[in-house]
Amino acid sequence: MDVNMAVDMDVARRAAVFVGNGWSSFTSNIVYRRLVDDQRLLAAAREDNDDLIQEIFEDEESFDINYQDGLGNTALHYAVIHLSDAVLEHILSHDNCDVDPVNRIDQQTPLHLAVKISNSSARLHFVEQLLEAGADTTIKDKYGERAVDFIPDGPEGNEVRKLFRKEEARSMISKDDVASDDDGEPGSGSGSDDD
């Protein structure tokens, strides 16, 4: 069974539920189209299908970039799991992309999955892409582990660890770099008040 046939069967089953619940056929067709493109988005991420993702992106209203399947995985999760680099770039470029969706099984983000990639150069690349897109390094999975906790020990994890340290330092600076003028005293805060 090919991907399109599997997607069609799943979507047809879901659309039948909407019609069975009294939805109009017009509304059902809109929902059907959305479900089809959501499923196609996941398939593109699983297969690193650049042509398919570009076709889906042609109609921004036809899909949900953060759509989660039954396991809670999004296209971003699947792009990381299947090392779908071309699709990853498209997903991260979408304005509404949530870079920190949590899946249902282990409550892990794509960043958690990226640090587990066995190929060290692929791991470094995917982690770097996610961090540049603003992935949160502090999110814990259902076991209380942050993504950084999964970085392999030894030299093969050193470059990824450097990326995490750099991101954590940047995050600390941006949080601490806010001037406070709560007390109203002259000279406190940013110093931009006129004398």
pLDDT digits (tens, 9 = 90+) for 19-70: 455 555 545 455 556 678 899 999 999 999 999 999 999 988 889 999 999 9
Instruction: Say how far apart CA 129 and CA 152 lie, in whole Å.
Output: 19
Cα separation, 160 vs 84, whole angstroms? 19
Beta-carbon neighbour count of residue 13 at 10 Å? Answer: 10
Give the model's pLDDT for residue 126.
98
| CATH fold group of domain 99-177 | 1.25.40
The per-residue pLDDT for 4 is 45
Global confidence as pTM: 0.75
* Position 178 confidence tier, pLDDT thresholds 50, 70, 90: low
Q: For residue 179, give Cα distances in angstroms to 75, 141, 170, 195.
A: 39, 33, 17, 18
- Tell me the three state secondary structure of residue 54: helix
Query: Who wins on pLDDT, 162 or 3?
Result: 162
Q: Which residues contact 47 (CB under 8 A, 6 or more apart)?
A: 3, 82, 84
Q: Where in the chain is the domain with CATH 1.25.40.20?
A: 99-177
User: Are the CB atoms for 120 and 128 separated by under 8 Å?
Assistant: no
Task: Enter the tokens of residue 135.
Answer: 């992935």
Left (φ > 0), alpha (ψ -120 to 50) or beta: where does 107 sit?
A: left
In this predicted structure, what is the pLDDT of residue 173? Answer: 81
